[in-house]
Amino acid sequence: MPNDTTLLLELDGVSVARVERLADGTRRVHLVTADEAARTCPTCGVFATRVKGSAVTRPRDLPYGESRLEFRWHKRRWFCREAGCARRAFTEQIAQIRPAPG
């Protein structure tokens, strides 16, 4: 799913919503999910249809030249309504941005 974000950051599945410059010169880049497959339950693989809420994560291992960038990924939390699935909720995810260890 090529878009300008793919070309700029070499990331598929997210788009840049806006960029702001902080007082120290850092650019904060706000990302949103652009790939509908990100709403697939990671446990059972079923597409979620009901939004639970939202979350903002801070991906840290995204390389980008010499400039200081700070990322905020605004994503949705979904309910998994598959009866046999042990997972009840999850946040959107894409392969190129790994979840924080936890």
Q: What is the pLDDT of residues 55-97, one digit of tens each?
A: 999 987 676 666 678 899 999 999 999 999 999 999 999 888 8
Cβ 77 vs Cβ 33: under 8 Å? no
The helix (H) or strand (E) run that includes residue 52 is: strand 50-57
What is d(CA 56, CA 58) in angstroms, rounded to the nearest whole number? 7
Strand locations in 1-102 (E): 14-21, 27-33, 50-57, 69-79, 89-91
Q: What is the pLDDT of residues 19-36, one digit of tens each?
A: 999 998 888 999 999 999
Residues found in the chain: 102
The pTM for the full model equals: 0.81
Query: Distance of alpha carbon 12 from its chain centroid, rounded?
Result: 10
